[in-house]
Structures are given as C-alpha cells and as structure tokens.
Amino acid sequence: MSELEKVKTPRDLDALNPAQLKQLCEDIRANLITTVSKTGGHLGPNLGIVETTVAIHRVFDSPSDSIIFDTGHQSYVHKLLTGRTDLSSLRKKDGIAGYPQRSESIHDIVESSHASSSLSWADGISKAYKLTGQKDRHVVAVIGDGALTGGMAWEALNNISDDNDRNLVIVVNDNGRSYAPTIGGLARYLNDVRTAKNYRRLYRLSKKAFDRMGLVGRLLYSAVRGAGKGLLATFAPKGIFPNLDIKYIGPVDGHDLVAMEQALRQAKNYTGPVIVHAITQKGYGFNPAVLDENDQFHAVGKIDPYTGESLEDSSSETWTGVFGDEILSIADKREDIIGITGAMLIPVGLNKFAKKHPDRVFDVGIAEQHAVAAAAGLAFGGLHPVVAIYATFINRAFDQVLMDVALHKAGVTFVLDRAGVTGPDGASHHGMWDLAILQVVPGIRIAAPRDAETLREELNEAVLVKDAPTVLRFSKGSVGSPIKAVRRTQDGVDILSEAPSKDVLLLCVGSMASVGLEVSTLLAAQGIGATVIDPRWVVPVAQSVIDLAAKHRLVVTIEDGIKVGGIGTRVRQDMRAAQVDTALNEVGLPDEFLEHASRAEIMERVGLTAQSIAHDIVAQVVGSRVPHARPVDESKIETRQQQP
C-alpha cells in the first residue's frame, strides 16, 4: 500500500514521519505523471508544487482554514490530499474537474480559473473571519504561475497591507513561469532573489555542511533557513514588497518539505498578513518537463509517461497554427503590425511572430486590461495592434474595449482563440460570452471564420480597419475541411448551399457552418429546402442577410455563444427594424455555466448538433406554412435525448 493510498483526509498527514512524507511526495508525482499522461491536463504546475501543498495541509487545517489556489490549475495535489485519490476521470464528463470545484469537496473554495483573483478572495474571507469573531481560522492564498503579474493582485495587496490584524498567509509559488517564463519588472526582481550570487553560494555551502550532520543537521538547517535567522538571513532580501509593510519569510526551497513546514508554521504564528516566498521548479521530478524550455509541460494532452512525447495526432491543421502563420505573413509586409498577448505567447500562436520580429510583440503578463488599454495607445501612435488572447479572457477587459478602444475609434484587432465550447477545462474556460458581450460595443466589427481560408481572409480584412475595433474569433483544436461557397453577395456574405424552395434560412456563425450544412441535408430528406449562409462578419449584420431573411419562411441562427444577447438577437432586431416579419429561431448555448466534458458531449447535451437542430426545425415547419413538406421521418432524424 502506497503512502498516498493511506491519505483520505489532510489530517492523515499528521501521523506520517519524515521518511513516509518523502515517499508520499514521490507517490504523488508518480500518480500525477501516470494519470495526467492519459487524461491530459496541467502537469508541469502540479509537479512543481507537491511539497509545498503537502506542507500547507500539514500546517493548516482545511476546511476550517481556507486554502485558495491561484491559478486553480495547480490544485491537483490538493485534490489528491483531500480524498480524490483517483484522478483517472480528470477533466472528463462527470469526473474530477481540472480546477477546484465546490461540488466536489468542501476543501475547494474558488472555482474560477481566471488568474490573479486569489488575494482579493483572501482579503475578503480573512476580513469576514475577523468581523464574525472567527479568530482561530486562517486563510492561505497560493499564488503563482505568473498570477502576480495581474493588476488585481496588486489592488488586493494594497488593501491587505492596510489591515494587519487578521490571519492571512500568502504563499508565493515562485517558479518564474506562467505558460512560459514570466515577464516584467516583478519577474526580474524575483529572479534576482532566486539567483543572488552570495545567497546561492551560501545556500550551497550551508546545506552541504548541515547535510554532513545527518537528520539533526538537516532539521537545524531547515530551522535556520525557514526562520530567516542566522548567517543565511544576512543575504536574504527584506521582502518581495518592502514598501507594503507585509511580513516576509523566505526565500524558501519549495521542494524542501521540512523547510516549507517551518516557514509556514512561523507564518501561522504571526498576527497579520505574511508572505512566504517559495522557490519551486515547474515540472520538478519529471525530466521531459524540466528540459522543455518552452512551457515545461504546462498543459499536456495524452503523452508517453516515460519520454513525455505526445501521443496525439499533430498532423491536423489547427486554428491557432493558421492564425500564427498568417499574422507573421502580414507582419512581414506591414511594419505597423504589433502583437500583444497576456502570458500566452505560444498558446495563441504569436511565438513565430515574436521570434522573427521580437521588438514588435509584447507579452504583458496576466494583465488583459492593461493589454487592451496599451493597444489603444499604440494605435494612437500610428500602429495597428493585434491583441491575441483566449475568448474567455476578453471578459476581463470589456471596459477597456469599450472606453479605451471603441470610444476613441482606435484601430485595434482582437483575436480570440478558444471561442465557443472548449471542453474539459470547464465553466471558466468556455469562450461562450464574447459574442454577447462585445456586440454591444458601438462601431465594433466581429468576424467568425468557418475554415482556414476564411480565417486568413478575415484577418487581413480586420487589420485594414483603422477607425474601430475588429474581432476575429475561432474555436479550439483542428480547423477541419475547407468549406467552399456557392457564391458571395455584394456585401460579403457567403452562400454555402441553396435549395429551390425558400423554406429555411440557416445563418451559421463560424465553425457552426459544417453543422448548418448537415442540417440542410437532413431537412432536404424531409422535403424542406434550406439556404445555408456564412455572414463572415456577423456584426454588423449585412443587408443581404436581411434581404435573404425576407425571402424565406423561417430563419434559424446557429452559434456557439450564449443565445441571450447573441447574434440571433442582433439579427432579429435588424429584421424588425427593416420590417421583415419572418419567424426566427435562435440556436445557441444556454445561459448557464457549462460543466467540463468533451466538446462533443457538451454540444449533444445543449442541443447544438445537426440532428437536434433539424428535428426542432421539422417539428416547427411541418403543418405550418410549408405545404410541400412531408411528415417527419423519425428514422432519418435522431430524436434529441432528454436531459435533466
């Protein structure tokens, strides 16, 4: 029986001796490598925080003490120590979530995976405990993987430093990384702390001397180092934030369990906020991750657990890859094109651009608001910024899109990767709100490519706009087969298929074009003629869309964003303004937080499959105003499964 199998609750850690604790950490790493190599997930961050998490749970008493992870992807070890020892269902439908989730465990508090919010949560919870007289409860915020580059963290620190009478411990998991090496002044400062010549030399000499004394020496070394006393403290910095008057302990070796425990116990005994600065290595204990200079296996698909090599098909063309190649091609021709991203240079495809034109690509860290406002400034200076981030993260910068870019008529292009349903990362990672949120911005233009060629085409069109924000949004993963248009209207709408009878107009947003074509085939089998169109630019609504709507008996909009305030709503309003009274059905995502599962499983549940959409259209059309339609042949259209 492994040591990990013995741990059912955090308090089971109390009975383990040093040898057992060391074995436990080895068991945890083996479990992570074996499991995540099969399921995919955030491997590197969790390998780097094993000892630190074990130490936190030995010193603090969860759930009485509240433990918050920022970002939440570094919580796998926490899950293993709080009763979820079987991670084989990680990120699968009805399985273990890839982030903390309250429905899973009373030990999980903050579910959102959007970074830099932990200190605000910790500030609020610790204030609540103080105001309600719960003075025996502590709050521990574990912040790392670049989350300290986010502005929210600094806003929270400003407030935390203003009230020193509460039990709040901030563990800075300092691995120098987010997806890739963390950038900015703070990162450079932390790097100076980690690599200070005198500190490193003394650390090596002292540790070697104490190690010769065996276990007693090791304990003495950890006590000296963790307490920040003695010779080592001579070279240790006064703190990460010396001007904020927050007590500081460190830097501590985050992979030294004894040292971490000592530091955390000292922090727990302080009255007031304390920072514990833990130095860790992303991917620690797994050589393929450690040796990967790009992202140290930040997030992986299925991999070989020994070599780290990917076991997934990489031959398919991806949306991100197409964008990355095309933006580089554009940048080669236009010196005014600037790339901006928030700690995601590789994931959003700007790495090739950055490698060839390093002075024209800026990674601003996890700071979406700053990225967008800075883009407005770059546009004012005569450049054309392209801000590339995940669709779910544009939510964080809405005010800047509205007031800094749109109000000032700045020519800024936003490229939103992972739009729509993304799958196993869960509620906070689905890019399902961007269409509804952004289309309320005056003057904005939003494009949704259906395939690789339209992505290239629409990106080139977007960067030509100098007086308004433009948006290009696309899905996660493979692009799929090209979809040729039958013809294009004068104002740029692509007609993908037409039927002699004008029964149904299917307006498909982006990658939903293939679904729309499948729906039209199913409808044709029922004697219902459908015209399938791709507006290409979904906002503003083209006049030809309104004209086509007037010629059909029913309009159905199909989008992978929420229906409430979605593109269907926009089309309906423009039809009404043009006095077109054709009935319109809006097909999209429900206004709910979607669970983690595969994209296909989620689309099936919410009714965004060709069979489901066709079934609903047939049910509406038959017996209404389409006299030539045949009765529904249920053998050709699958009935949607009833969902709770």
User: Given 273, 289, 305, which residue is the final one in a domain?
Assistant: 289
Q: Which of 406, 439, 451 is nearest to 566 (CA)?
A: 439
Shared domain check, 352 and 243: no
- DSSP letter string, 549-584: HHTSSEEEEEEEEESTTSHHHHHHHHHHHTT---EE
Helix/strand/coil percentages in the chain, nearest 5: 40, 15, 40
Shared domain check, 17 and 155: yes
- Pick the residue with more confidence: 358 or 179? 358
Shared domain check, 552 and 527: yes
Domain membership of residue 525 (yes or no) is yes
CA distance 321 to 326: 9
The two structure tokens encoding residue 300: 């992986």
Contact between 203 and 232 (Cβ < 8 Å): yes
**Global pTM value:** 0.85
Contact between 208 and 194 (Cβ < 8 Å): no
User: Given 289, 305, 327, which residue is the final one in a domain?
Assistant: 289
CA distance 339 to 356: 12
Structural domains counted in the chain: 3
Shared domain check, 268 and 159: yes
* Lowest mean pLDDT across 238-252, 254-268, 437-451: 238-252
Shared domain check, 177 and 55: yes
Q: Answer yes or no: is pLDDT of 297 > 70.
A: yes
The two structure tokens encoding residue 301: 């698909």
Domain membership of residue 501 (yes or no) is yes
User: Given 471, 499, 522, which residue is the final one in a domain?
Assistant: 471
- Catalytic residue status for 396: yes
Residue 621's Cβ-count burial label (10 Å; 0-12, 13-18, 19+) is buried
Shared domain check, 490 and 453: no
Shared domain check, 48 and 172: yes
Q: How confident is the model at residue 177 (pLDDT cuts 50, 70, 90)?
A: low
Residue 186's Cβ-count burial label (10 Å; 0-12, 13-18, 19+) is middle
Q: How confident is the model at residue 71 (pLDDT cuts 50, 70, 90)?
A: confident
Residue with tokens 């970002």: 71
Q: What is the mean pLDDT of residues 245-252?
A: 85
Q: What's the length of the chain? A: 644
Residue 292's Cβ-count burial label (10 Å; 0-12, 13-18, 19+) is middle
Domain membership of residue 298 (yes or no) is no
Domain membership of residue 245 (yes or no) is yes
Percent of the chain whose pLDDT exceeds 70: 85
Q: What is the mean pLDDT of residues 348-354?
A: 97
The two structure tokens encoding residue 590: 């429900």
- Chain centre distance of CA 69: 15
Q: One of 51, 368, 458, 559 is an active-site residue; which one? A: 368
The two structure tokens encoding residue 112: 């959102």
Residue 494 gets the label, from left (phi > 0), alpha (psi -120 to 50) or beta, of beta
Shared domain check, 189 and 337: no
CATH at residue 278: 3.40.50.970
Shared domain check, 140 and 243: yes
CA distance 98 to 90: 6
- Pick the residue with more confidence: 622 or 233? 622
Query: Which residues neighbour 411 within 8 Å (Cβ) at sequence distance 6 or greater?
Result: 379, 384, 465, 466, 467, 468, 469, 470
Check residue 239 and give its pLDDT.
Answer: 59
Domain membership of residue 375 (yes or no) is yes
Q: What is the mean pLDDT of residues 86-97?
A: 90
For 192-239, how does the pLDDT look when each residue is reduced to its tens digit (9 = 90+)?
Answer: 555 454 444 444 444 454 455 555 455 545 544 444 433 333 333 455
- Catalytic residue status for 368: yes
Check residue 99 and give its pLDDT.
Answer: 86
Q: One of 91, 396, 572, 605 is an active-site residue; which one? A: 396
Does residue 273 have a cis peptide bond before it, meaning omega lies within 30 degrees of 0?
A: no
Residue 26's Cβ-count burial label (10 Å; 0-12, 13-18, 19+) is middle
Query: Which residues neighbour 229 within 8 Å (Cβ) at sequence distance 6 or greater?
Result: none
- Pick the residue with more confidence: 613 or 99? 613
Q: One of 91, 137, 177, 282 is an active-site residue; which one? A: 282
Q: Answer yes or no: is pLDDT of 449 > 70.
A: yes
For residue 36, what are the domain limits? Answer: 1-195+236-289
Check residue 639 and give its pLDDT.
Answer: 41
Contact between 401 and 407 (Cβ < 8 Å): no
Percent of the chain whose pLDDT exceeds 90: 66
Contact between 491 and 542 (Cβ < 8 Å): yes
Domain membership of residue 641 (yes or no) is no
Shared domain check, 459 and 334: yes
Does residue 392 have a cis peptide bond before it, meaning omega lies within 30 degrees of 0?
A: no
Domain membership of residue 224 (yes or no) is no
Average pLDDT taken over every residue of the chain: 87
393-400: list long-range contacts, CB under 8 Å, 24+ apart: 393/114, 393/342, 393/368, 394/368, 394/434, 394/437, 394/438, 395/433, 395/434, 395/437, 396/114, 396/368, 396/369, 397/368, 397/369, 397/371, 397/372, 398/437, 398/438, 399/369, 400/369, 400/372, 400/373, 400/376
CA distance 235 to 231: 8
Contact between 555 and 585 (Cβ < 8 Å): yes
Contact between 552 and 525 (Cβ < 8 Å): no
For 315-326, how does the pLDDT look when each residue is reduced to its tens digit (9 = 90+)?
Answer: 789 999 999 999
* Structure-derived torsion over alpha carbons of residues 545, 550, 555, 559, reported in degrees to the nearest 10: 10
CATH at residue 493: 3.40.50.920
Shared domain check, 451 and 369: yes
The two structure tokens encoding residue 107: 């030990």
Q: How confident is the model at residue 642 (pLDDT cuts 50, 70, 90)?
A: very low
Residue 502's Cβ-count burial label (10 Å; 0-12, 13-18, 19+) is middle
Q: Which of 102, 95, 103, 63 is nearest to 81 (CA)?
A: 63
The two structure tokens encoding residue 236: 């240790």
Q: What is the mean pLDDT of residues 48-56?
A: 95
Shared domain check, 251 and 345: no
Domain membership of residue 302 (yes or no) is no
- Pick the residue with more confidence: 538 or 426? 538
